[in-house]
A = this chain, B = another copy of it.
Amino acid sequence: MNRPEFELIDWIRARVTDRWPVTLGIGDDAACLHPAADRETLVAVDMLMEGVHFTFPPATAALAGRKALAVNLSDIAAMAGRPTAAFVSVALPNGRGMDFARDVHAGIIQLADEYGVVIAGGDTNSWNGPLVISVTVIGEPLGLQPVCRRGALPGDWLFVTGAVGGSLPSSRHLTFSPRLAEVKRLAELVSLHAMIDVSDGLAADLHHILKASAVGALLEAAKIPLTATVRQAADGRSPLLQGLSDGEDFELLFAVSPEDGRRLVAEWREETPVTHIGEITESLECRLRQTDGQIEPLAAIGWTHRLGAGV
């Protein structure tokens, strides 16, 4: 029974401390969590595959592991939640050795520690295939209820955290910070009507909110916060198009009432900016006001090379 997987599991266990809400962690047939009374449980699941969601280089084993957890933490942030426990399943490529396997988990554990998330279990396998990492994150809503994609109302102001575009060429998709601190502050300041994290692309993810909420939107091209990457890139596509469609930004896109929107603009003091980029409309169309004032339809343009799709 001296299988390398058991050695790896012992290595992981030595670096993980069970604490609330985990009452039984790594090492049994299932883990046991004690949820807070009267709180719902959030569950996010994402699978990342080598060659699709990351490649070596620029990814390292640790960055691949980090991203697999980070995208799930971003999903919990997008529900206005806080993550508590994570489960990590891996298919490790034979022949890349134990250091590689440890590095994958070290990247995960470091990010988990940063956000106070307990690694409570998982499944460790190896095979003659590329690296696959599937992470499940358990969390709970910051308030009594989570914030969903549905719930945006006509007249609501649309905001996005940070800046968008160029996540892949800049490798930001490997190193981004899930917006957990930001959403905690947002939930204290305003009533979030609808929210999503920008993974498919700002326009495509806006369409998800619009469809779920049965509303439309008018975005202001001049207001979209673009990253330095796209402003400087010699990409054939305009910086705006990159910002609207690149995806993998993992910023939060959300709708609040105009009153809350004005308060956010006036009172937001955090390091990560929040930018008012448009309004929700009763008309079901999704439109973009170009910088010259022309209003055009905005399709659900997204990262078409991306093959993954959260269910």
Contact = CB atoms under 8 A, between A and B. Distances in A.
Interface in A41-70: 41-47, 49, 51-53
Given A1-B207, A123-B310, A197-B29, A41 B49 contact: no
A32 interface: yes
B308 A123 contact: yes
B146 A45 contact: no
Report, as a range, how many residues of chain A touch the other chain.
Answer: 35 or more
Contact of A29 (B30, B124, B196): B196
A3 to B, nearest CB: 6
Tell me how many chains of this kind the complex includes. 2
A176 to B, nearest CB: 15
Please give me the 9 A-B residue pairs with the lowest Cβ-Cβ distance, nearest first.
Answer: A134-B134, A5-B309, A47-B89, A30-B44, A29-B78, A29-B75, A125-B308, A45-B87, A136-B136
Given A3-B307, A123-B308, 19 more contacts: A5-B307, A5-B309, A24-B146, A29-B74, A29-B75, A29-B79, A29-B197, A32-B42, A32-B43, A37-B38, A44-B121, A45-B121, A47-B123, A51-B128, A52-B125, A88-B311, A124-B308, A124-B311, A125-B308
